[in-house]
């Protein structure tokens, strides 16, 4: 499931420099955050988000939208 969401995120933001595409990608990230948290792997999500930020750093509008993605807080 997470692999498929990752592919969908890449497709949403890779070739399209538009806010609607970025918002769709952000929705995938929100779903991924929930799944990582349910699996007890919030630190893996945080690392993935950093990887996305590094890969897509030139996309300023995407970076602005991603500021809403605070690191997942561990419940342990």
pTM of structure: 0.72
Mind listing the pLDDT tens digit for each residue in 24-74?
Answer: 888 888 888 998 899 999 999 889 889 888 988 888 888 888 887 765 554
SS3 at position 35: helix
The Cα-based distances of 33 to 13, 18, 21, 51, 72 in angstroms read: 17, 23, 18, 14, 7
SS3 at position 38: helix
User: How buried is 37 (Cβ within 10 angstroms: 0-12 exposed, 13-18 middle, 19+ buried)?
Assistant: middle
């Amino acid at each position: 499931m997470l692999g498929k969401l990752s592919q969908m995120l890449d497709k949403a933001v890779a070739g399209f420099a538009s806010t609607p595409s970025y918002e769709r990608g952000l929705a995938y990230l929100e779903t991924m955050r929930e799944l990582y948290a349910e699996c007890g792997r919030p630190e893996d999500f945080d690392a993935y988000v950093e990887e996305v930020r590094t890969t897509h750093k030139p996309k300023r509008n995407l970076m602005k939208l991603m500021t809403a993605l605070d690191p997942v807080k561990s419940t342990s």
